[in-house]
Chains A and B, each alone.
Chain A
């Protein structure tokens, strides 16, 4: 049984250049160390998922890993909170709701 890991958020390192990823297939760019939520907001993407009940729009809300409203799915990793997860180069990011069916 795996134990919970401590999470360390490095923060943005603009001098280390850019990373490239996709959100729902759309190419996006972020800085090394930048959170997914930050990179998506700069790309003008605010809607990160829709609720199963009522199909309501959800996105970045608390900004500190509490509310899970900004959850997204990263291919090969799983569902993460985009506000506290740095984007990695080449990652395919998509809507999270119902992710485990993927």
Chain B
């Protein structure tokens, strides 16, 4: 919808820090800043908690992370473990462990390799053979030849986290401006963000804009390569509570969990159809069939259930699949945190680390590998 221009050229509001993007990264960044006494405005192009943060399948898995991200997933769990208390609402956090399954010897080898790497990085996990799987999780198919189990995997409900986090952020004094599409970012004495809801000023700017980050960074002349995944998720009708654990696959092509109402959520990064430019994110049924067949192959009992709905959501992906976190290349007061593989798991930590960086110039965990400038000299 065009035409909702700023009513006049005067400034609508100002704060010490503007955060663009009202997803999980931005909200936790703003919360960290506000709790340290800073004035913060969040500018969100549509509604807060409406894209990847809201439509992902809620996995808080450690086993399916790239090895370098395993310590970060474990640190993020230090935050998730107390999330319901912190947000003052039950946000559906469960940590009953997860199975990562293999159907062939080649996949079992991948499990073994990942297990060694992840254990070296501090993950508590063990290898199970076919018989151990049958004894521990009889609902997994006997076709499954090997699995690793980690008690550190879990999940939470994105649907419950969003509203609770929003209330917490607003109670901390953060100003939330929704439907504020950014039209231009200008650097004068301060940073001036021109939006469809008016003009906002700040001393520092944080971009937590996920899949949109390449566009926002380009507005201030920084190169931040982001490619787009359109991930599909499906939900089944409620069934008898049977599966306490999260299920992932050796090749990273399945996530599955049974949530509190008995419904099973099925994901795994199977690709739907759409682009940011056409604002489209639709189901590709040819792909979805494979996603659902794989889920039924791993857990045969699922075949009795109807799928109620399938949907797709954007995920911004960096060239090396590590998130961006740090100062934008060429800038001293424009920061960025975006595009983690497993952004729901890592979001609270990434937002907090960005807040720490903006506050003090330092972070409580190392962020070198996340430098947003690491691809700025690569030609596309």
Most buried by A among B237, B240, B304: B237
Q: Which residues of chain A have C-beta atoms less than 8 A from B309's C-beta?
A: 68
Residue of A nearest to B236 (CB): A100
Say yes or no for B86: interface residue by CB 8 A criterion: no
CB atoms of A101 and B237 under 8 A apart: no
Q: Mark B200-240, 1 if CB is under 8 A from A, else 0.
A: 00000000000000000000000000000000000001111
CB atoms of A100 and B261 under 8 A apart: no
Q: Which residues of chain A have C-beta atoms less than 8 A from B293's C-beta?
A: 1
Say yes or no for A11: interface residue by CB 8 A criterion: no
Contact (A98, B308) CB under 8 Å given A51-B261, A52-B261, A52-B262: no
Say yes or no for A90: interface residue by CB 8 A criterion: no
Contact of B240 among A68, A71, A101 (CB under 8 A): A101
Q: Which residues of chain A have C-beta atoms less than 8 A from B239's C-beta?
A: 98-101
CB atoms of B308 and A100 under 8 A apart: no
Q: Which residues of chain A have C-beta atoms less than 8 A from B308's C-beta?
A: 68
Give the distance in Å from the alpha carbon of A98 to the alpha carbon of B236 in the complex. Answer: 11
CB atoms of B261 and A68 under 8 A apart: no
Contact (A79, B306) CB under 8 Å given A71-B237, A98-B239, A100-B239: yes
Say yes or no for A78: interface residue by CB 8 A criterion: yes
Q: Which residues of chain A have C-beta atoms less than 8 A from B253's C-beta?
A: none
Residue of B nearest to A2 (CB): B303
CB atoms of A52 and B237 under 8 A apart: no
Say yes or no for B369: interface residue by CB 8 A criterion: no
Say yes or no for B305: interface residue by CB 8 A criterion: yes
Say yes or no for B260: interface residue by CB 8 A criterion: yes
Q: Which residues of chain A have C-beta atoms less than 8 A from B301's C-beta?
A: 100
Give the distance in Å from the alpha carbon of A63 to the alpha carbon of B376 in the complex. Answer: 53
Say yes or no for A53: interface residue by CB 8 A criterion: yes
CB atoms of B240 and A52 under 8 A apart: no
CB atoms of B304 and A98 under 8 A apart: no
Say yes or no for A92: interface residue by CB 8 A criterion: no
Q: Mark B134-166, 1 if CB is under 8 A from A, else 0.
A: 000000000000000000000000000000000
Say yes or no for A40: interface residue by CB 8 A criterion: no
Q: How distant is B135 from chain A, measured CB to nearest CB, in Å?
A: 22
CB atoms of A97 and B304 under 8 A apart: no
Q: Which residues of chain B have C-beta atoms less than 8 A from A1's C-beta?
A: 293, 296
CB atoms of A53 and B304 under 8 A apart: no
Q: Which residues of chain B have C-beta atoms less than 8 A from A98's C-beta?
A: 238-240, 262
List 18 interface pairs A-B (beta carbons < 8 Å), by A numbering. A1-B296, A52-B238, A52-B261, A53-B261, A68-B237, A68-B308, A68-B309, A78-B304, A79-B305, A97-B238, A97-B262, A98-B239, A99-B239, A100-B239, A100-B301, A100-B305, A101-B239, A101-B240
New contact pairs (12) apart from A53-B261, A68-B306, CB-CB < 8 Å: A1-B296, A52-B238, A71-B237, A78-B304, A78-B306, A79-B306, A96-B237, A97-B262, A98-B240, A99-B237, A100-B301, A100-B305
Listed from nearest, the 4 A-B pairs whose CB atoms lie closest are A101-B240, A52-B261, A100-B239, A68-B308
